[in-house]
Structure 1
Amino acid sequence: MRILGKALLKIGQVAEATGLSKRTIDYYTSLGLLTTERTASGYRLYTEDVIQHIQKIEYLKTQRLSLQEILTFFTEREVKTGDAIYQEVQQLQETVNGLEQRLMESTDYEKQEIRLELSRRLTLIASLIAQL
């Protein structure tokens, strides 16, 4: 099936293409991370770009973002213009600079937490830049 020039995939096809289980895809859909169309007979159909979207989700998970943070990340970026994204990158860079300063002055335990936060912020910066 095709809709507006895009192929529509059944959940099994998406699972096979991404290596995720149908249950995980269902869960992502129930959280609002993925969108689906329903046929008259109740089948869920996903557009072919869902595969790249799932790859982004899985990458952000490797960067230790929670699914709720990932959802927020995607929903906030959908409505932002290039200028808004640029401003957010600038703000994140200021935060990164502050975290780097704290890192030099912190204890070993605090350094682990700061490094994790730095990793998250740098991942967000990279994702934002990719959207420009």
Structure 2
Amino acid sequence: MAYQQKTKETDRSVVEFIESVENPKKREDAYNLVNIFSEATGFEARMWGPSIIGFGSYHYKYESGHEGDAPLVGFSPRKAKISLYFAPGDPNREELLKNLGKHTTGKGCVYINKLADIEIDVLKKLITQCIQYLQEKYPGA
């Protein structure tokens, strides 16, 4: 049975999705993040799956043979925290995260409570660094 990628780019409206976020402060942060990511990437915000706002895209292929498409960077204003999506494996990510501000990390995610907790200039550097890393790792991204 072929693997079916769960998170795909959709035609869903980014604005409609953000308007569905219950918490008014998180909704405001989401709009601000759209502006920050758009400015830093030069890409338009697009929905990926039901809840990820992604910017740009690339095609990946792992040694296992698994392949698919994913946003270069993105975020999701989840109930508990805001998830920021950056590529796992970037060796320069940890250095930048030291100066980001209040956050926690997962494999490919950085979790923040609110935009006011982090340094926006460092976030912009993380965004551009991640895109550069992915474009070097996956030429054509």
Q: TM-score, normalised by structure 2?
A: 0.34
Larger Rg: 1
Name whichever structure is richer in helix by fraction.
1
Is the strand fraction higher in 1 or 2? 2
